[in-house]
């Protein structure tokens, strides 16, 4: 168990540019979640996958945001035409549907700064 | 949807004292209540969780209590140490939402010497 890993850890981009974050969940975890966290706030749910199927998206996820998990393993979160309000930490998490506890484990996050 | 409120937003205690953080939730269908600890710039880490079929759970210096009737749950840390200083988040989820967690706004705990 190597934990949830995210890349890049930090990204500074100019407004209007596109950015993509990658998440590698804990091996064999079939659920993968994306959350967003701003300073002083708790993580806010964005979307989740069960295997390769995206089963729920938050209203927070505007049309500029898209997430994929093509093979049911790693996932990408793309933000198009970034805005300053997109600056936040994007957290990926995973859990094992088969596990009795279904505990959600978080990655270290990808910090996005839009200038 | 679920709404989780957390109090207090900041808490300062002396080393060795106890700390209590309280949360309330709105969705009576929620049945899983984890607590996460987050140090500055780090990932949220699960420290303890409780399911709705029990009222209390303890792990060394940390305990969580749940009152389903009142829809509130609390985190208790005894014999606090400086390394307990962090932001603590409560969360709630229900089986109908695939364990999607709704978080509180966090409590910044400062343990002073």
Taking residues A28-32, report their average pLDDT: 89
**Would you call A85 helix, strand, or coil by DSSP?**
helix
Check CB contact of B44 with chain A, cutoff 8 Å.
yes
Q: How many CB pairs under 8 A join A and B?
A: 53
Residue with tokens 């709704």: B102
How far is it, in rounded angstroms, from Cα B50 to Cα B34? 6
Check CB contact of A31 with chain B, cutoff 8 Å.
yes
Q: In this structure, are residues B108 and B11 in contact, taking their beta carbons and an 8 Å threshold? A: yes
pLDDT (tens digit per residue) in A61-98: 889 999 999 988 999 999 999 999 999 999 999 988 66
pLDDT (tens digit per residue) in B12-66: 999 999 999 999 999 998 988 999 999 988 999 999 999 888 889 999 999 999 9
Check CB contact of A108 with chain B, cutoff 8 Å.
yes
Q: From A34, A30, A22, A29, select the one nearest A2 (Cα to Cα).
A: A29
Alpha helix (H) ranges present in chain B? none
- pLDDT in the model for residue B97: 47
Check CB contact of B94 with chain A, cutoff 8 Å.
no
| Cis status, amide bond into A8, omega within 30 of 0 | yes
pLDDT at B100 over 90: no
CB contact under 8 A, B43 and A43: no
Contacts of residue B41, defined as CB under 8 A and 6 or more positions apart, other chains included, come to: none
How far is it, in rounded angstroms, from Cα A78 to Cα A64? 8
CA of A106, closest CA in chain B: separation in Å?
6
Residue-wise DSSP of A6-35: EE-SEEEE-TT--EEEEEE-STT--EEEEE
pLDDT (tens digit per residue) in A33-70: 999 999 889 999 999 999 999 988 998 888 999 999 99
- pLDDT in the model for residue A103: 83
Check CB contact of A74 with chain B, cutoff 8 Å.
no
Percent of chain B scoring above 70 in pLDDT: 96
CB contact under 8 A, A56 and B100: yes
How far is it, in rounded angstroms, from Cα B75 to Cα B73? 7
CB contact under 8 A, B103 and A55: no
Q: Minimal Cα distance from A30: which residue of B?
A: B98
How far is it, in rounded angstroms, from Cα A7 to Cα A20? 9
pLDDT at B94 over 80: no
CB contact under 8 A, A31 and B98: yes
How far is it, in rounded angstroms, from Cα B34 to Cα A104? 9
Q: Are strands B32-38 and B86-92 parallel, antiparallel or unpaired?
A: antiparallel
Q: Minimal Cα distance from A10: which residue of B?
A: B41
CA of A108, closest CA in chain B: separation in Å?
4
Chain B residues within an 8 Å CB radius of A31: 98-99
Contacts of residue B26, defined as CB under 8 A and 6 or more positions apart, other chains included, come to: B2, B3, B4, B71
C-beta neighbour count of B42 within 10 angstroms = 13
């Amino acid at each position: 168990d190597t934990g949830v890993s995210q890349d890049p850890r930090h990204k500074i981009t100019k407004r209007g540019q596109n950015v993509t974050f990658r998440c590698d969940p804990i091996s064999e975890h079939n659920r993968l979640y994306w959350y967003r966290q701003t300073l002083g706030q708790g993580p806010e749910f964005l979307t989740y996958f069960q295997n390769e199927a995206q089963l729920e998206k938050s209203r927070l996820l505007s049309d500029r945001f898209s997430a994929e998990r093509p093979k049911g393993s790693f996932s990408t979160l793309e933000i198009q035409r970034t805005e300053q309000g997109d600056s936040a930490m994007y957290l990926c998490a995973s859990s094992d549907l088969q596990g009795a506890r279904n505990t959600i484990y978080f990655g270290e996050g990808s910090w996005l700064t839009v200038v | 949807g679920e709404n989780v409120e957390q109090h207090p937003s900041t808490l300062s205690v002396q080393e060795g004292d106890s700390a209590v953080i309280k949360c309330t939730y709105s969705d009576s269908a929620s049945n899983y209540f984890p607590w996460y600890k987050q140090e500055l710039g780090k990932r949220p880490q699960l420290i303890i969780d409780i399911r709705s079929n029990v009222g209390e759970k303890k792990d060394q210096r940390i305990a969580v209590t749940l009152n389903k009737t009142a829809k509130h749950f609390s985190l208790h840390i005894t014999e606090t140490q400086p390394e307990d200083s962090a932001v603590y988040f409560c969360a709630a989820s229900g089986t109908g939402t695939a364990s999607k967690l709704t978080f509180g706004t966090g409590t910044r705990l400062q343990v002073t010497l």
